[in-house]
Structure 1
Amino acid sequence: MGALQEAMREAAASGIRFGFAETNGLRMHYARKGHGKTLVLLHGWPEFWIVYRPLLERLEDEFDVIVPDLRGFGFTGKPFAGPDPHADANTHARDIAGLLDALGIASTGIVGGDLGAYVLQAFARHYPQRLERAFFFCTPYPGIGTRYGAPGHLIEVWYQYFQQLPWAAELIGASRQTCKLYLSHFLNHWSGDAPDVFANMLEIYTDMFMQNDNIQGGFDWYLSSAPDRRRWLEGTLAKPPVIDAPSRFLWGWHDPLIKPDWSDKLGDYFSNYSIGFADAGHFVHYEAPDLCASEIRSFFAAPSRHPPLAPLDRGPDAIVPVHAAMPQSQP
């Protein structure tokens, strides 16, 4: 049995449910556990639902926690083979809105980091009445501006250009070892060069990215966001509308990719926010789950900024047996 299959079976045995929902032309996979207020967690790259398992286990007593695999990732996969230049933040936000529709959820709190933070910002701007509160980890946002492309920082963002190349996925996926080596660089370096953080997860991640065209699926985000990223680095990106949803930010002091001092312009883009810092790297949610769970509980305990919405007509919650979400055995 592969590492991913074993992790899925173990998760199911712990009470995590797995389902699929039709949304925006996509069959989206999600993990779900708990009871209470609905809370949606959005992962980044190179991740999938399992990166939030520590938070699922810590929040289940107070929240109905839903963790989708984003478009191109995990068991959600891609709508078609090959590069997809339309997997931008707005498309991802529509995917999440469709997931909420499919599950009969009118509004919710959302947590996002890395790519998930981009998606959460797009969701906040397009669906403000469906977002109760927003919680961000290590967040890329327009206020970072040209600092992201400064000469001293290019060593950290080279991969965002490499992953747009038409043969990048084929090269990284040439063998299990090449995929594992590539993923291990980011998992280790972004977590403060502490390789023990993801030591027990690397085989699981490699299993996942070696199937379902997931290497290309993860790269599609960088291809799709390239035009806006270019304008961002040139300083010509139009300023987006300010986000009014109550927002909380938790930044890792040791994040080499999105530096904590770059949080200095948040007030230009968020009208109602607070910020905290953690002794962690880029993967705050995985490196410091106890702290993150405590922060999330405190932040989402506050009343919603919206009056209650009428519940959507709810079809059956498409929970599927765990074996339906299993990959084929790796050779």
Structure 2
Amino acid sequence: MMLAHDRAGTGTPAFLLHGWPGDRTDYADVVPLLADTADVVVPDLRGFGESDRDPGGDHAMASQVRAVVELMDELGLADAVVGGYDVGSRVAQQLAVEHPERVRALVVTPPLPGAGRRVLEPEAQREFWYQAFHQLDLAERLVDGSPDAVRAYLAHFWNHWSGPAFTPTPDRLDHLTGRYAVPGAFTASIGWYRGGSGTAARALVEQPPEVRVATPTTVLWPEHDPLFPRAWSDRVGEWFAAVEVRPVDGVGHFVPVEAPDVFAAAVRKAAAPE
């Protein structure tokens, strides 16, 4: 199944990949800022939104990367600037590893490799509890298919992970609840974590590669992301050969939503002709 997606603008192709718990509308305020610069494609990743959400399907890393490549092929795009946050960031990075010829440049926010055993520190574990919870059948029994439970669960993360000046609107939460509360949709979305792609699972096993990713990479690291403190940016250069880490003050985890102008500016710069 081709990923459900929106497309707008003209110019350099740009793929923007959303995170959990979101969907392609996370970039609603970014796309208009790029319309005169980039041919922007914003898909729902597998297991999310209006894309394939088979709760028993494989929605982890390999499946996500394959689906993005297939969509690029369907649209006739040889390569693109690829941006992402959260799950979308991990997919974008892996796309650059497996298919470097398809990625002109990366614009990503955390997670990035390099956390290592710091993910086991008590403060980190207080934040990453949800990834262990998602491994349990209890998660789907308590949340899946229940609009009230889904809305409360999603509202927790959108409020807790965002910066101090951001509060998700009721309309935003209503939209996401409508997407995630469809029976099977929540379970499909957490297939990412059940497939071993979450930070808590990856951080303890990832090792710097013998050959670093050569793709020009811009990392937008927010100030108030409780999951990914800025101290964890210290090893990014061990994985990426041409990387710039830019601090984004005042915002939390949802950079494209909280600071769409900052995210759009980074994509615009990456898409500019040399």
TM-score, structure 2 normalization: 0.93
Larger Rg: 1
Partner of 2:38: 63
Paired residues of 2:134 and 2:193 also in contact (CA < 8 A): yes
Letter in 2 for 1:262: W
Once superposed, which parts of structure 1, at least 4 consecutive aligned residues long, lie more than 6 Å away? none
Partner of 1:148: 119
Q: Residue 194 of structure 1: CA displacement?
A: 4.8
Q: SS at the partner of 1:207?
A: helix
Q: Residue 90 of structure 1: CA displacement?
A: 2.2
Paired residues of 2:144 and 2:183 also in contact (CA < 8 A): no
Rounded Cα–Cα distance in structure 1 between residues aligned with 2:93 and 2:196: 14
Q: Which moved more, 1:170-179 or 1:203-212?
A: 170-179
Rounded Cα–Cα distance in structure 1 between residues aligned with 2:158 and 2:191: 19
Q: Which moved more, 1:114-123 or 1:240-249?
A: 240-249
Rounded Cα–Cα distance in structure 2 between residues aligned with 1:258 and 1:153: 8
Q: Which moved more, 1:127-136 or 1:204-213?
A: 204-213
Paired residues of 2:221 and 2:230 also in contact (CA < 8 A): yes
Q: Which moved more, 1:50-59 or 1:196-205?
A: 196-205
Letter in 1 for 2:223: W
Q: Which moved more, 1:152-161 or 1:170-179?
A: 170-179
Paired residues of 1:156 and 1:256 also in contact (CA < 8 A): yes
Rounded Cα–Cα distance in structure 2 between residues aligned with 1:74 and 1:129: 28
Rounded Cα–Cα distance in structure 1 between residues aligned with 2:198 and 2:31: 35
Q: Residue 255 of structure 1: CA displacement?
A: 0.7
Partner of 1:318: none
Structure 2 counterparts to residues 27-66 of structure 1, below 5 A: 27-66=2-41
Paired residues of 1:192 and 1:254 also in contact (CA < 8 A): yes
Deviations 1:205-258 (A, max 9, x none): 10111126220111000000169854633xx44444521100001111111111
Cα RMSD (Å) of the superposition? 1.9
Paired residues of 1:187 and 1:198 also in contact (CA < 8 A): no
Deviations 1:276-327 (A, max 9, x none): 1112100111101122222221232143xxxxxxxxxxxxxxxxxxxxxxxx
Q: Residue 158 of structure 1: CA displacement?
A: 0.4
Paired residues of 1:228 and 1:237 also in contact (CA < 8 A): no
Q: 1:96 aligns with which of 45, 63, 68?
A: 68
Letter in 2 for 1:215: F
Q: SS at the partner of 2:108?
A: strand
Partner of 2:224: 254
Paired residues of 2:2 and 2:71 also in contact (CA < 8 A): no
Paired residues of 1:109 and 1:132 also in contact (CA < 8 A): yes
TM-score, structure 1 normalization: 0.77
> Taking every aligned residue pair, what percent have the same amino acid on both sides?
34
Letter in 1 for 2:193: Y
Rounded Cα–Cα distance in structure 1 between residues aligned with 2:198 and 2:158: 26
Q: 2:102 aligns with which of 90, 108, 130?
A: 130
Paired residues of 1:197 and 1:287 also in contact (CA < 8 A): no
**Unpaired segments ≥5 residues, structure 2:** none
**Unpaired segments ≥5 residues, structure 1:** 1-25, 304-331
Paired residues of 1:190 and 1:283 also in contact (CA < 8 A): yes
